[in-house]
Structure 1
Amino acid sequence: MRRSTLGHSAVEITELSFGASGIGNLYTPVGPDDAAATVDAAWDVGIRAFDTAPHYGLGLAERRLGEALRARPRDAYTLSTKVGRLLEPCPVAGDDLAHGFAVRADHRRVWDFSADGVLRSIEDSLRRLGLDRVDVVHLHDPDDHAEAAFRHAYPALERLRAEGVVGAVGAGMNQAAMLARFLRDTDVDAVLCAGRYTLLDQSALTDLLPEAQARGKSVVVGGVFNSGLLADPRPGAHYDYTTAPPHLVAHALRLKETAERHGVPLRAAALHYSLGHPAVAGVLTGARSAAEVRDTAELLATPVPAALFDELRAEGLLPDTPQRAPKAPGGAGAAPR
């Protein structure tokens, strides 16, 4: 599996990263054995980059991911987590489904982008993971906390990087504009952008991706299926966590029709498109089962002809953008460690 370094750091990721929100019981429960098998499958297909956050399942994703990785050689993989939400114990008052996770609400999230909050969040994450370090730390969803994130949280991460406590720092959000500002105004190594460079939404092309390319920084793209519409385009499908409007369903169906004329599943086209920009170091995909992990790996191995994207541009379904040449099946790449 192809590897890339994050910006100018020495931290490497594989072109597929494993996102742990699913094993944190996103929407519905995942049993502990299934969670462990999901991480094992990610390892077996060559994934060596794993991403989590305190937010996912009120710490459950970190606990499960750490348990699954603990027996692996620590230098053989890259681990990222996030800061910005501290978890405070509270009396159990039902479930956490209001935040999207099927777990007991025995903690509450407290926004904290202070320097002390960053340090405490990392310490808490390491305790839940049961590991002695993380390689990458992202500021998580600082949309409504920009001043604190830029003035306090980012400088704290920069100090930790300078001290060698972490290897790379960044920010992870569902928007592109503020991530572009992080690239302009700080020295982040990479940003994690969910849902903004896909077959349906190319808003990251406005400033984020050109900024990253010009500065030699990396973008990791999440949400490549836009919450499901690009996985199964139909009325009632989800787009960005809510029901997709009819015009987007129609757009996705046109994408699917064109992809299938080239013998390519729409999901494979979506995955390869998000990987194609020169500034993109990799894509982050979640999974709730070993089968889902293997399915994503098969999509990565699916040949996607350049003619498909050429036709989508000719039909006005995609803008003109720089793309890497599609990878040949079985193409050369660094072997997983």
Structure 2
Amino acid sequence: MCGGAGGQALGLEMAGFSHAAVIEIDDWACKTLELNRGQNGPHGPWPIIHADVHDVDATAWEGQVDLFAGGVPCPPFSIAGQQLGADDERDLFPRALEMIRQIQPNAVMLENVKGLGQRRFDDYRKAIVAELQAMGYDVFWEILQAADYGVPQLRPRFILVAVKSQYAPYFVWPEKLSARVSVGQALHHLMSANGWPGAKAWAQGADGVAPTLVGGSKKHGGPDVGPTRAREAWKKFGIRGSSIAEESPSENFPVDDPDTLPRLTVRMGGVIQGFPESWTWAGGKTAQWRQVGNAFPPPVARAVGQSIANALRMKDLPENTLASTPLEAVLKN
């Protein structure tokens, strides 16, 4: 549910899952899904459903699904918003729980902004856990940093995983990678694509993990890296964040000029999010950037998806590996 531009779905596919449905309401995000994974898409078709999740009859998949996954809207819990939680009309956790109850999958994966992990939402999380437990699931949650799984930006995300009780002893969170990917490593070839002579030096200077990309909402935010603080952070990576470029810097673009810095393109933003370069983004620049900035990084979905798949296969845990602690135990402590 809430498939967006396909980041979570793509990562779960990489983890070995095939999709029974990819549901999304936004017109441009659906167009992006169609361009990449429609019947004529270059990467093979997904069963894309362009609809409001409230209008989808979930009973069609009852007892036929291993994993129910989704990126429920983040405004109810975002620090950038009013943090209304359950009082926000955009809160789709109740609908997700309703669909889970109808479908009865073996596992659930829901992601949101890290704000949902805050103390002020303890009661809300406990209510979600209680409902899932009543359905026969053991529940786990964690705040994962995308940078720990090969994504060249921080992007902390709240991840909730629930598995039927018989699979719970086999679930562990994915291990962090031993090294992080820097912005320079990820984007050097794109920065140099049009012959910019300063690309190599730029990449050497951009040797850290990027700040979290933001895309804004339909009401707020345009094609830029975000507010003043975010722009200042990107400036340290040699990026001008006031707008998004149409293409990579040309061979005539200045070198070593602090007042004339290169800008990110939509494709570069997609790579920062962990999408393949070949992913096509639909819409005008604002619509494209909104999809990029609001996406869930595919490498993170892949890592968590592999852990879920291992649990469903009841794969024995490696020696000296501690099983994850169910969410209710964490809350009790």
State the TM-score, normalized to the length of structure 2. Answer: 0.33
- The structure richer in strand per residue is 1
What is the TM-score with the length of structure 1 in the denominator?
0.32
